[in-house]
Amino acid sequence: MNPLILLRFLPVQRVSSEAHKSRVPFPHWYLYLICVDPKHQGKGYGGTLLKSMLTRIDSERLPCYVETTNDRNVSFYEHHGFRVVETSEIQGTRIKFWAMLRDKAA
């Protein structure tokens, strides 16, 4: 792995870590990474992956936290019950960051 890639990732990781600690200092699920190959996006695979996890999370009656740096993902997560709890821009970049939370099931 190219060390420069890691250096470019550090500012994102710093904002991510700070948002996670400050926005959800209580028991929760943290969906760190959900990915669908771009050539297969828009076919329902991401929703299927997410729904199966949310079913399990809801059975445990815990909130769920997720982050994204892709504005297209915000509406995807909102469709699944998440709300934006923090928005920022990564300092020194043009990368936007959204922290999102889905409240625990009743």
Which CATH number does the domain housing residue 20 bear?
3.40.630.30
As a whole number of angstroms, the distance between CA 94 and CA 96 comes to 6
Domain count, the chain: 1
Strand segments (E) across 1-106: 29-31, 64-68, 83-89, 96-102
Q: Which pLDDT tens digit goes with each residue over 1-24?
A: 677 777 777 888 888 899 999 999
- Supply the pLDDT for residue 85: 96
Range of the structural domain that residue 98 is part of = 3-102
The structure's pTM equals 0.86
